[in-house]
């Protein structure tokens, strides 16, 4: 443990990683760097995978190290101070709910978290018979709750329009734009809009890169880059007309997969800040101590969660086996834990090119429980059927031994209903697992215990707190569930050969960020120039060895559109570059390989291959 630590930590956070040293993958922002801890993620067994991802999650709580680059961390004074300042401004909104609003906005996972958070705090207000004053925006609209709509995040104008629409008639809006990588054009458009209307809007940016690492290419069809917007926002900090909350939490365990640490850190940071604002409403002043007290409860949640590492590893192994046999993972959750399950399932699609049927989430009460703006979306197609009734009616009849069913609930949920569902599922598969949250002193009834072979039991301490504080337990349970599911699905897809080292290598290129990530992964694995990598990526997207002038002159948005109809674009480009073979040869090699990972691994060892940057740097 380092001597510089200021706070007594609940968990043992790892020592600072090599990623903090000057020069480590210098051209990349923290959110896109590869985490030195997980460099051999693809060779790990389930227990090691859990341990590695556990340590990565613990980095969220690591403190700033003055001996290294001066990255601000969650516990840094400047971050705590900004959290306090923003909390005070939230208080002002809470005092005048009729013409004020707190808007939370994001894309992908960040958008789903905006929904979860807005609903939590509206729920908190409603419980006090106060007017709800939170609202959420997600790029792609409510469809993005249950399906991946990555392309809509590239549109800054749309972001601004949506914001203007939800804020119509309001005099005081606190806008919280979440972009973990400080990269989403949709959020840039909204921040820019706020800065042009500072009489009404107070813009707050939440993300996990320093401003100097915010995305720097000019947004297509717009006037600025994300970085320019963030820099403008930074200048408003001293006058308290705008804020940036961007502690470093370290690179993701799976490079770039911001649904993992980025999502968890968003939840921790914003729930802490907002809870303090609500407590302060009852005349408790906003202090660093209040913030720290809550942050510590999340550290505790990390400890409680990963005390179940063995069982988490078993669930991961079971899931990987199901996926390998072309089976599925069905996640059935109660209350907001169901939404956490849906969030995790949806993300498997863009991150691992999974079919939407592979991992699916269901929630008790369907859309009614989610309380989304657009109401019931189930008429949009089978993908949008998300209630337990939908599961029983449409999915259960075809469930078999190859499938895994995971139930997630608390002991305060309807245990009779749960028991009945368990019995129905058991008629179809014995692979049934449970995540069960209890408060100290509560026990799972024997009748249920006997019927479920494997239970991940998490017991949370009783919190003798005032009304607002009682929400902490709900937040802990959600985060703990998120950590387990992130680890299980990321680990299962790693075991299925979808990761090479710690790079996602088979993701859908369906927005500009992902196009740039694909080029960057290509460069890192092959050591070839940016220009050459872009060229081969385009060959793979268009399936043509010779690129026409028309293709070369197409915008990135055009390439992204073309990539949408192709599969395995990145793996084909990687193998083609490593082997100096045609796109067609590469594709047939991949198609006949055991997994994407094995196709890349065997191409790495081709005689005479030029060593890649990654090879020379760190292996
Ligand atoms: C990440 C996930 C994406 C992101 C989205 C927003 O694992 O696949 O859906 O959440 O791209 O990213 P950001 O950096 O703006 O929060």
CA of 47 to the centre of ligand 1 (A): 27
* Alpha-carbon dihedral sign for residues 133, 137, 142, 145: negative
Q: Give the chain's residues under pLDDT 50.
A: 1-3, 613-619
In this structure, the residue with its CA closest to atom 15 of ligand 1 is: 179
Which CATH architecture best describes the domain 507-605?
Orthogonal Bundle (1.10)
617 annotated to bind ligand? no
Residues 475 and 271: beta-carbon distance below 8 Å? yes
Phi and psi based region of residue 527 (left: phi greater than 0; alpha: psi -120 to 50; beta: remaining): left
CA of 511 to the centre of ligand 1 (A): 10
Tokens of 365: 């009460």
Tell me how far apart the terminal alpha carbons of the chain are, to the nearest angstrom: 26
Residues 461 and 440: beta-carbon distance below 8 Å? yes
307 annotated to bind ligand? no
Cα distances from 528 to residues 397, 468, 532, in angstroms, run 50, 54, 6
Instruction: Ligand 1 pocket test: pick from 258, 513, 517 the residue with the most ligand atoms within 8 Å of its Cβ.
Output: 258
Q: Which of the 8 DSSP states describes residue 442?
A: -
Q: Domain map of the chain by residue range?
A: 77-286, 295-500, 507-605
Instruction: Ligand 1 pocket test: pick from 28, 32, 107, 143 the residue with the most ligand atoms within 8 Å of its Cβ.
Output: 107
107 annotated to bind ligand? yes
CA R_g for the chain? 23
2: how many CB neighbours lie within 10 A of its CB?
Answer: 11
Residue with tokens 């909104």: 93
Q: Which CATH class, in words, describes the domain spanning 295-500? A: alpha beta
Binding pocket residue ranges, ligand 1, CB within 6 Å: 106-110, 150, 153, 178-181, 183-184, 257-259, 262, 347, 350-351
513 annotated to bind ligand? yes
**171-191 pLDDT, tens digit each:** 999 999 999 999 999 999 999
CA of 32 to the centre of ligand 1 (A): 11
Supply the pLDDT for residue 454: 87
180 annotated to bind ligand? yes
**286-295 pLDDT, tens digit each:** 889 999 999 9
Number of H-type helices and E-type strands within the chain: 24, 12
Supply the pLDDT for residue 619: 33
CATH topology identical between 295-500 and 507-605: no
pTM over 0.90: yes
Closest to 363 in 3D by CA, of 108, 112, 103, 105:
112
410 annotated to bind ligand? no
CATH number for the region 77-286 comes to 3.40.50.10490
Supply the pLDDT for residue 609: 64
How many residues can be counted in the chain?
A: 619
Supply the pLDDT for residue 607: 72
Supply the pLDDT for residue 371: 94
89: how many CB neighbours lie within 10 A of its CB?
Answer: 16
Tokens of 59: 């980095």
ipTM passes above 0.90: yes
Instruction: Ligand 1 pocket test: pick from 108, 215, 343, 502 the residue with the most ligand atoms within 8 Å of its Cβ.
Output: 108
In this structure, the residue with its CA closest to atom 11 of ligand 1 is: 108
């Amino acid at each position: 443990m380092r001597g510089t630590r200021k706070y007594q930590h609940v968990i043992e956070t790892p020592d600072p990683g090599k990623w903090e040293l000057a020069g480590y993958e210098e051209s990349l922002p923290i959110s896109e760097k590869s985490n030195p801890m997980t460099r051999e993620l693809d060779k790990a067994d389930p227990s090691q995978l859990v341990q590695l991802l556990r340590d990565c999650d613990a980095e969220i709580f690591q403190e700033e190290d003055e001996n290294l680059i001066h990255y601000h961390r969650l516990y840094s004074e400047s971050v705590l101070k900004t959290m306090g300042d923003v909390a005070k401004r939230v208080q002002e909104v809470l005092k005048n709910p009729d013409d004020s609003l707190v808007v939370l906005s994001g894309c992908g996972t960040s958008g789903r978290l905006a929904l979860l958070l807005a609903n939590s705090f509206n729920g908190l207000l409603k419980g006090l018979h106060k007017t709800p004053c939170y609202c959420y925006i997600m790029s792609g609209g409510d469809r993005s709750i249950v399906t991946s709509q990555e392309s809509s995040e590239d549109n800054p104008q749309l972001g601004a329009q949506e914001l203007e629409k939800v804020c119509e008639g309001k005099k005081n809006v606190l806008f919280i734009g979440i972009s973990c990588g400080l990269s989403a054009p949709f959020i840039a458009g909204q921040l820019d809009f706020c800065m042009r209307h500072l009489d009404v809007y107070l813009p707050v940016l939440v993300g996990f890169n320093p401003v100097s690492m915010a995305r720097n290419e000019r947004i297509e069809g717009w006037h600025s880059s994300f970085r320019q917007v963030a820099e403008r926002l930074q200048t408003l900090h001293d006058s308290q007309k705008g804020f940036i909350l961007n502690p470093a939490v370290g690179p993701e365990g799976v490079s770039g997969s911001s649904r993992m640490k980025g999502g968890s850190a968003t939840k921790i940071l914003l729930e802490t800040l907002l809870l303090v604002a609500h407590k302060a409403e009852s005349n408790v002043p906003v202090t660093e101590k209040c913030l720290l007290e809550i942050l510590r409860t999340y550290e505790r949640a990390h400890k409680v969660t990963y005390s179940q590492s063995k069982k988490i590893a078993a669930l991961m192994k079971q899931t990987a086996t199901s996926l390998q046999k072309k089976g599925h993972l069905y996640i059935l959750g109660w209350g907001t834990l169901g939404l956490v399950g849906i969030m995790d399932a949806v993300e498997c699609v863009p991150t691992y090119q999974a079919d939407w049927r592979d991992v699916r989430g269901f929630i008790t009460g369907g859309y009614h429980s989610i309380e989304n703006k657009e109401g019931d979306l189930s008429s949009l197609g089978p993908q949008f059927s998300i209630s337990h009734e939908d599961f029983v009616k449409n999915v259960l009849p075809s469930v078999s031994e190859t499938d895994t069913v995971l139930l997630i609930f608390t002991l305060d949920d309807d245990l009779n209903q749960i028991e009945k569902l368990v019995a129905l599922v058991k008629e179809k598969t014995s692979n049934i697992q449970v995540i069960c949250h209890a408060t100290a002193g509560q026990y799972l009834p024997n009748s249920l215990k006997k019927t479920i072979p494997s239970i991940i039991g998490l017991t949370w301490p009783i919190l003798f707190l005032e009304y607002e504080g009682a929400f902490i337990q709900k937040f802990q349970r959600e985060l703990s569930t998120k950590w387990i599911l992130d680890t299980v699905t990321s680990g299962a897809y790693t075991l299925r050969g979808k990761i090479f080292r710690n790079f996602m290598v088979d993701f859908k290129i369906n927005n500009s960020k992902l196009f740039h990530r694909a080029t960057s992964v290509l460069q890192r694995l092959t050591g070839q120039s940016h220009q050459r990598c872009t060229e081969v990526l385009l060959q793979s997207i268009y399936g043509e060895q010779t690129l026409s002038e028309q293709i070369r002159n197409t915008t990135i948005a055009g390439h992204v559109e073309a990539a949408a109809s192709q599969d395995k674009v990145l793996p084909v480009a990687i193998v083609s570059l490593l082997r100096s073979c045609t796109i067609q040869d590469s594709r047939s090699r991949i198609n006949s390989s055991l997994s994407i990972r094995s196709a890349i691994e065997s191409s790495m060892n081709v005689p005479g291959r030029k060593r890649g940057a990654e090879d020379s740097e760190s292996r």
